[in-house]
């Protein structure tokens, strides 16, 4: 399928109607009906790239519509209205659909069909994106490739070097904002004292801020 890079609207329509993981899966078919979740525009300069929707996002169709989203918005220093303004902020997870759960009730990895079929074309249709927030190991593997460090902790710890690298869009690696990562955050206090101020400064530059430092 050859897409005109400027035709973002038709590309998004095809993504939202995608059934590849059911009809032509690379492994086992998706165990439920697809519900791709993606937000993009030709004006957003900031993109959040996480893992894949969870059960609540699958039910509502709203990305980061859960406690992890609340924490992420706090990290960014923005409110819900700003976060969901796709003219200012794109959200492109590595897997567009909820992948299902494993035997222990944890979410499965993102479906590989999404990146293989859609991601290169989607980012080609958004050349204005200046910064990608790569949340978690799967997003970091796609956006950093061989430049990803040995572990997620090592990748996030080297955020200054990664952010300064000559590339477009630039990449800022982050851990997942899940409350399951509370222990990681306690072990790495530099994340809050050093990385978060830079993250908020980048978000303010790309989105705009109010006088109290929170996005309006």
Nearest to 114, CA basis, from 98, 134, 102 = 98
DSSP lists the bridge partners of residue 46 as: 89, 131
Residue 2 lies in a domain: no
What tens digit of pLDDT does each residue of 107-157 get?
889 999 999 999 999 999 999 999 999 999 999 999 999 999 999 999 999
Given this model, what pLDDT does residue 104 score? 82
The number of C-alpha atoms within 13 Å of 201 and in the hemisphere containing its C-beta is 6
What tens digit of pLDDT does each residue of 147-183 get?
999 999 999 999 999 999 999 999 999 999 998 899 9
Residue 190 lies in a domain: yes
> Distance between CA atoms of 98 and 54, rounded to whole angstroms?
6
Task: Give the predicted TM-score (pTM) of the model.
Answer: 0.91
What SS3 class is residue 62? Answer: coil
Here the CATH number for the domain that contains residue 119 is 3.40.470.10
What tens digit of pLDDT does each residue of 185-211 get?
999 999 999 999 999 999 999 997 533
Given this model, what pLDDT does residue 101 score? 83
pLDDT(4) > 70: no
Residue 1 lies in a domain: no
Residues spanned by the domain of 126: 8-207
> Distance between CA atoms of 69 and 203, rounded to whole angstroms?
16
Residue 212 lies in a domain: no
Given this model, what pLDDT does residue 209 score? 52
Residue 178 lies in a domain: yes
> Distance between CA atoms of 113 and 194, rounded to whole angstroms?
36
Residue 215 lies in a domain: no
What pairing do the DSSP bridges indicate for beta strands 170-174 and 131-135?
Answer: parallel
**Beta-carbon neighbour count of residue 42 at 10 Å?**
14
What tens digit of pLDDT does each residue of 37-93 get?
999 999 999 999 999 998 889 889 899 999 999 999 999 999 999 999 999 999 999
Please give the tally of structural domains in the chain.
1
Given this model, what pLDDT does residue 55 score? 86
pLDDT confidence bin for 214, thresholds 50/70/90: very low
């Amino acid at each position: 399928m050859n897409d005109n890079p400027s035709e973002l609207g038709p590309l998004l329509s095809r993504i939202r109607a995608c059934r590849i993981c059911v009809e032509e899966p690379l492994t086992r078919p998706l165990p439920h009906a697809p519900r791709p979740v993606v937000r993009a525009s030709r004006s957003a300069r900031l993109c959040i790239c996480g893992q894949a929707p969870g059960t609540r996002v699958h039910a509502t169709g709203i990305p980061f519509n859960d406690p992890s989203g609340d924490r992420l918005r706090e990290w960014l220093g923005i409110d819900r209205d700003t976060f969901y303004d796709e003219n200012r902020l794109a959200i492109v997870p590595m897997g567009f659909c909820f992948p299902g759960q494993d035997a222990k009730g944890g979410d499965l990895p993102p479906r590989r069909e999404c990146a293989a079929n859609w991601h290169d074309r989607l980012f080609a249709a958004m050349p204005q994106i200046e910064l990608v927030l790569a949340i978690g190991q799967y997003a970091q593997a796609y956006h950093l490739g061989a430049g990803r460090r040995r572990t997620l902790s090592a990748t996030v710890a080297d955020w200054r070097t990664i952010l300064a690298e000559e590339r477009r869009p630039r990449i800022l690696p982050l851990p997942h904002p899940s409350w399951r990562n509370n222990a990681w955050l306690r072990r790495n206090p530099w994340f809050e004292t050093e990385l978060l101020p830079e993250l908020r400064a980048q978000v303010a530059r790309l989105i705009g801020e109010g006088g109290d430092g929170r996005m309006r």
